Structures are given as structure tokens and as C-alpha cells.
Amino acid sequence: MFTVTRDHTSTEAVTVNYKVAEAGSAVGGTDCDTDSIDYITPPGSLTLQSTDTTATVTIARCDYDVEGKETLVIELTGAPGRKLTGVGTITSDE
């Protein structure tokens, strides 16, 4: 899960699109039944109302194998004047 935080006040709602970038060490896919897929990569959007300071993006995890930490990067677009990214870590179930 990623938490998106607005870093400024606004009198208007802001809608941003999100997607998992082709970056990081984790492998994305469209189906958890596929070998070596770490998470599902559905793109989507979220809206921060004028009174909201945070919203969440949930990425479905597929890989529960015991292994090292893997990272994934989420990109947010559509916020005027901003390109936003966040990095998440999938930890092992040791």
C-alpha cells in the first residue's frame, strides 16, 4: 500500500493517475498464477478532495516466497506542475 500525501493546500479536488513503473527489482504482471510475478500492476486513478491530505494506492502482492527484499516504484501523473514517484519494498515472509 502506498500513501499519497498532498504537500500543499488547495481549494479544489485533484485527480492523479497512477501506475507501477518499469523500475525496481520486483516483477509486475497481470496474473498471480504466473511464475515469478511479485505483484499485480493495474493502473488507476485517485482523487484528493480539497479537504483531503492523503489517499492510498493498494498494489496486490502475489509472491510469498522466502527471498530478499524487492522494490517497486509507483508513478503519479496528472497533478499540474508535478511528476511524483514513490518507492515501496516487498519484504520476505521469513
Provide the residue range defining the domain that includes 85: 2-90
Checking if the pLDDT of 68 tops 80, the result is no
Largest CA distance in the chain: 46
Q: How confident is the model at residue 87 (pLDDT cuts 50, 70, 90)?
A: low
Question: What letter represents residue 57's amino acid?
Answer: V
Report pLDDT for 33.
82
Q: Which residue has the higher pLDDT, 56 or 87?
A: 56
**In this predicted model, which residue has the larger pLDDT, 73 or 52?**
52
How many domains is the chain partitioned into structurally?
A: 1
DSSP the chain: -EEEE--S--SS-EEEEEEE-S-SSS-EES-TTSTT--EE---EEEEE-TT--EEEE---B---SS---EEEEEEEE-STT--EEEEEEEPP--
User: Residue 60: its pLDDT value, please?
Assistant: 78
User: Which tens digit of pLDDT belongs to each residue from 17-35?
Assistant: 888 876 667 777 777 887 7
Q: What is the pLDDT of residue 94?
A: 43
Q: What is residue 9's predicted lDDT score, i.e. its pLDDT?
A: 73
> In this structure, what CATH number is given to the domain that contains residue 28?
2.60.40.2030
CA count, 13 A, side-chain hemisphere, 55: 19
